[in-house]
């Protein structure tokens, strides 16, 4: 098997959603579908209970489509170590207080030794201005952070 990838909720949402009229979102949905078909088998995919909880909200049909995707992906534990790292990410300003769940996604992926954290969340996760802080805090806490990237970045070999 290939490298371990934590799949954050935005990827699952783009994969399961109906085509969007917004050109950027539609392009991201297409890229996600391409990655899922062409590249996902090259990696070991993982999610957490947080992904499941986030995917369970919204339109019932969309929830059902997301659940079908998630049922085949192994769950990582949201451990006390992950909760503590998420707390550090927020307290030290790498992730804003309003985005505690995003800090937890990063922490779960980090604590569990994922090579990549796959996301379309550029606001609080795959944010170039926050990335160095996120990585520094993870390393300071004794962990090697995953490469935070979009499906577009993992589509190429």
Distance CA 76, CA 89 (A): 19
146 and 46 Cβ atoms separated by less than 8 Å:
no
Query: Angle at the Cα of 12 (from 8 to 2), degrees rounded to 5?
Result: 65
Distance CA 87, CA 95 (A): 9
Angle, to 10 degrees, between the axis of helix 128-140 and the axis of helix 80-91? 130
Report which of 103, 52, 55, 51 is spatially closest to residue 82, judged by C-alpha positions: 103
Domains of the chain are 4-155 (3.40.50.1010)
pLDDT digits (tens, 9 = 90+) for 12-52: 999 998 889 999 999 999 999 999 999 999 999 999 999 99
Q: Does pLDDT of 67 surpass 80?
A: yes
Q: Does pLDDT of 157 surpass 70?
A: no
pLDDT digits (tens, 9 = 90+) for 114-139: 999 999 999 999 999 999 999 999 99
């Amino acid at each position: 098997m290939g490298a371990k990838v934590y799949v954050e909720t935005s990827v699952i949402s783009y994969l399961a959603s109906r085509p969007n009229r917004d050109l950027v979102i539609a392009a991201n949905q297409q890229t996600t579908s391409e990655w899922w078909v062409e590249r996902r088998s090259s990696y070991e995919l993982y999610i957490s209970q947080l992904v499941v909880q986030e995917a369970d909200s919204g339109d019932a049909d969309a929830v059902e489509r997301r659940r079908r995707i998630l049922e085949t992906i192994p769950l990582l534990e949201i451990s006390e170590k992950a909760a503590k790292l998420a707390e550090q990410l927020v307290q030290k300003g790498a992730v804003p207080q309003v985005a505690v769940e995003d800090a937890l996604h990063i922490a779960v992926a980090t604590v569990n030794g994922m090579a990549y954290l796959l996301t379309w969340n550029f606001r609080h996760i795959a944010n170039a201005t926050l990335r160095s802080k996120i990585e520094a805090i993870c390393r300071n806490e004794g962990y090697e952070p995953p490469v935070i990237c979009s499906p577009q970045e993992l589509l190429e070999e």
